[in-house]
Homo-oligomer: A and B are copies of this chain.
Amino acid sequence: MTNKLDETKTFTPKFDADGLMPAMAIEHSTGTPLMLAYVNKAALQKSLQSGYACFWSRSRQAFWLKGETSGNRLKLIDILIDCDQDTICMLVEMEGAKAACHTGRKSCFYRKLTANDGEGEDLSLQFTDNQPLFDPAEVYNK
C-alpha cells in the first residue's frame, strides 16, 4: 500500500511496457459493466476527439473504434482515470443494437464463477440472464 496521494490535475498516465493501460467501459445510465479493453495515448486522444470509445487492439495491433463494423458504438459521457493513473474508466451510452460483446450480448460479463467444491479450487461458470441482442454470424461474417 502506497501512501502517496495523487491530488493533482496533471495528466501523468502510467502506461505499461507496451504503452497500454486497461480501460473498462461502464454503461452510464445503469452502471452495467460492459467490457474491458486497452488504450494507448493515441487511442485516448481519438476517443476524446470523436466522442466515441476507441481502443488499441492488442491482437490486431491497430486502432479499434468500437462498433465501427457492427454499428454498436459506445458514446462517451466521461473518461475517468484512477488514483495512480494506470487505469481508465469510460462511462458510455450504447448505440445500435446496444450490445458491447462480440457474442451479441449487451455485456462481455455474461458468466459468473461458481465453486463446485465450496473451496474455490474446482471452478466452473454459470450463465447469467444476458441474452444475445444480435446474431454475430450475420454482423461479422458478411
- Which A residues fall within an 8 A CB radius of B? 1-3, 5-11, 22, 24, 26-27, 30-33, 35-36, 44-49, 59-60, 69, 78-84, 87, 89, 101-103, 105, 108-113, 115, 119-121, 123-128, 136-137, 140-141
| B24→A31 contact, CB < 8 A | no
5 A-B pairs with the lowest CB-CB distances in the bound complex, closest first: A31-B31, A48-B120, A45-B120, A80-B109, A82-B108
Assess A36 versus B24: contact at CB under 8 Å? Given A44-B113, A48-B120, A109-B82.
yes
Q: Please, which residue of chain B has its CB at the minimum distance from the CB of A122? A: B11
| A101→B83 contact, CB < 8 A | yes
Q: For A26, give its contact among B7, B26, B120 (CB under 8 Å).
A: B26
Q: Bound complex: CA of A111 vs CA of B140, how far in Å?
A: 36
| B124→A9 contact, CB < 8 A | yes
Q: For A1, give its contact among B44, B123, B137, B140 (CB under 8 Å).
A: B140
**A141 contact set on B, CB distance < 8 A:** 3
Known: A9-B126, A26-B33. 4 other contacts (CB 8 A): A9-B124, A11-B125, A35-B82, A46-B120
